[in-house]
A and B are shown apart, each in its own frame.
Chain A
């Protein structure tokens, strides 16, 4: 069964600190993996998309990694800001029709 699991479910850190969010998946056949940021009451915004051959991709203070062998991905946020408070969702695309398998998300709260 295709599944995407994210951890932790929620995380609270102080402004300026770094953090890492995890995503494990059992999706086959794998097409690509996406990280989205969703502010409360808003639509998701894409942070990164990685294909099978990509190990790491950065978008400003966000760096995503992908280990296709262990089927794990992480999203590292550097020097967190209050505006980083949001839900971060890992989505894996499967198969030739690019079916999207959604993780439940990690709710990140940045405190001043």
Chain B
């Protein structure tokens, strides 16, 4: 199946610093990528939809100035957590959607990035 690579898999940073997470679709072009965060024992929560060449669409309650998303190419989207604080510590996961055959595009997920802010 298609592969989505996420990097780094884990990162520890000091409060106030910014952290960038990369999401790459390795063997297909993804016009749409999604960013999620997941707290322990909870399901994934969609943060934003990243569209290649245009601004990301953020879910209600997600600060776009804090979680900067860039989708500069068909295979790469980045999430930057700016001025990170301990409450931003979470598991961040990206997914990429393959071009839809018919009406159903397949979603492939990255392995996730564990962010710990001290």
Contact = CB atoms under 8 A, between A and B. Distances in A.
Given A41-B112, A41-B114, A100 B46 contact: yes
A102 B34 CA distance: 14
Contacts of A26: none
A44 B109 contact: yes
Interface of A: prevailing SS:
strand
Interface of B: prevailing SS:
strand
A31 interface: yes
A45 B109 contact: yes
B43 A89 contact: yes
A46 B108 contact: yes
Contacts of B42: 104
Chain B interface size, as a band, is 20 to 34
B26 to A, nearest CB: 14
Chain A interface size, as a band, is 20 to 34
Interface in A62-109: 89, 93, 98, 100, 102-105, 107
Most chain A beta carbons < 10 A, residue from B6, B43, B104: B43
B103 to A, nearest CB: 7
Nearest to B41: A107
A46 B110 CA distance: 12
B44 interface: yes
B46 A46 contact: no
A51 B104 CA distance: 8
B104 A49 contact: yes
Contact of A43 (B41, B43, B93, B106): B93
Q: Which 5 A-B pairs have the closest CB atoms?
A: A43-B109, A104-B43, A44-B109, A102-B43, A43-B112
